[in-house]
A and B are shown apart, each in its own frame.
Chain A
Amino acid sequence: MEAPPVTVMPITSGTINMMEYLLQGSVLDLALESLLHRLRGLCDNMEPETFTDHELVYLLKGQQGNPFILRARRSLSHPTAPWHLRYLGQPEVGDKSRHALVRNCVDVAASHSLPDFLNEMGFRMDHEFVTSGHIFRKGAMKVVVCSVSRVLVPGNTENTERMSLSHLVELSVLAPAGQDTMSEDMRSFAEQLKPLIHLEKIDPSKQRH
């Protein structure tokens, strides 16, 4: 018949091959104020931003191989904001001399039906936690300083307990694959935060117990 053929297109929309460049570290609560002070001075001049997020980690187990992991996050301070769904790939082995951890990253904004939808897809919630802290920016770089709390009663974000007496610090950039100059910029920024904090390339797969 005279209809045009169905277009067979690869994905035309969305950001296809985005990588997350990441450096991590931690700072004792005692030294938190000095670090925040330093970051206020170094980062872009913006209104200080704080956040409280609830993050749920979902696993989809297949017949073989590793489970597929997705992270669903919602803001507790802005309950009407969309949910944030994130896929993180395996860290790239690649260049050992590269200064930051590099992994594939897909960020999706989603409606509030996300938990139900993930359940229907076959995902099961593995663990959940609440993060609370500050966010800074410098150009494309993002610095997150936050405390991590475990959720004592599943689903109840009111009832939490701090994991430790320190704050997690993450310096990250999202960029298309192959922009290795990013890790240079990150390294020089991290240098400026010494000796308050040592941001390092930490491979999460080597931390599992």
Chain B
Amino acid sequence: MGVTCVCQVPVAEGKSVQQTVDILHKKLEQLGALKQGSFWVDCETYQSTGNAGGQPSKLLYVMHNSEVPLSCMALFEGGPCLTADTNFDVLMVKLKSHFQNAKGHKVECRGSRYRYCDFLIKVGTVTMSSSARGISVEVEYCPCVVPGDCWNLMREFIQSFLGSNVPELPTVFAAKPEGLFAPADCVDTMTQYLELFNKLRKSQIPGSNINFSYLTPNRATGGLSGRLVEATVPFARSKKNPSFGLLFHVATVGGRKDGPSCCLLFSRGANESPAAAQSRSNESSGVWARF
């Protein structure tokens, strides 16, 4: 493997995710890139159930990449990373009493794979619980393993089809000044995907349909749905339950434009029960009081 850069491409104004992806495909084809099949990257999240020594439980991510279909990468955020064969997935099933699979957290990225001379380009749609969350672009410069030696070239190439959305040097490389890119596995690539997935997990795409609970102090009324107008950075995830994110949004509720222009929403994991939502709403009443 060469040097890889994974970045997020914002959805073009007035376009959908798919339309933006199509535009990128067209640009690559005009450049002379050849389509070579498809690719996928996925990420499962596991949460430690034990709380050894009173430490906050860590999240374990298990990822797969179609480029190395018989391997499996297990990572802790900022921690050690393990490359194993796919039997590691079977092992995680055995470990289910110690590491719980947060099913609603599965992230997938699928799309087309293009080759342009020494570059491999993968344009993917990042999907999370059946909603598209964003677009990823992975560019690999195959003949080189030293990021510092080819970054300017990669930048120039990325600029030719992403224009102003050129990413900065990925932090995985910035962290190791003179170090070689690990060529034998794709740990650096997966670390970048994980960063991207976590970033997208915390954001919502404006214009997407969401289901939410409308909160009043100490009460949650479920079943409402509306169109998200504007999304803001979610509140910090609760340490007790990282699958829970509080979001403050300006939204129209149930299509009513003259409804509350401001409401406190929170996204509920697909596998969370209404009762759990209710208890969380109580927790959030302190936040509500601020508005």
Q: Which residues on A are within 8 Å of B, measured CB to CB?
A: 1-8, 11, 13-16, 60-63, 65, 68, 85, 87, 89, 106-111, 113-114, 116-117, 120-122
Contact = CB atoms under 8 A, between A and B. Distances in A.
Contacts of B48: 121-122
A111 B184 CA distance: 11
B82 A62 contact: no
Contacts of B188: none
Given A2-B17, A121-B60, A113 B81 contact: yes
A14 B87 contact: yes
Interface string B83-120: 11111111101110111000100111010000000000
B158 interface: no
Contact of B106 (A6, A13, A114): A6
Interface stretch (B23-31, B122-130, B143-151, B244-252): B122-130
A1 B131 contact: yes
A110 B84 contact: yes
Nearest to B130: A5
Given A1-B131, A14-B85, A111 B91 contact: no
B180 interface: no
Contacts of B69: 13
What is the interface residue range for chain B against chain A?
35 or more
A109 B89 contact: no
Contact of B82 (A4, A16, A114): A114
A113 B89 contact: no
A4 B110 contact: yes
Among B16, B81, B87, max chain A CB count under 10 A is at: B87
B85 A108 contact: yes
Query: Is chain A's interface secondary structure helix, strand, loop, or mixed overall?
Result: loop
Contact of A14 (B76, B89, B185): B89
B177 interface: no
B179 to A, nearest CB: 15
Contacts of A89: 94
B88 A11 contact: no
B82 A113 contact: yes
B52 A122 contact: yes
Nearest to B57: A122
A14 B132 contact: no
Given A5-B130, A113-B83, 6 more contacts: A4-B127, A6-B106, A6-B107, A87-B91, A107-B87, A117-B80
Nearest to B69: A13
Among B69, B72, B82, B125, max chain A CB count under 10 A is at: B82
B58 interface: yes
Nearest to A108: B87
A175 B279 CA distance: 48
Contacts of B50: 60-63, 122
A2 B52 contact: no
Interface in B48-76: 48-52, 58, 60, 69-70, 72, 74, 76
A6 to B, nearest CB: 5
A14 B81 CA distance: 20
A3 B76 CA distance: 28
A2 B70 contact: no
A57 to B, nearest CB: 16
A68 B95 contact: yes
A85 B49 CA distance: 22
A11 B90 CA distance: 7
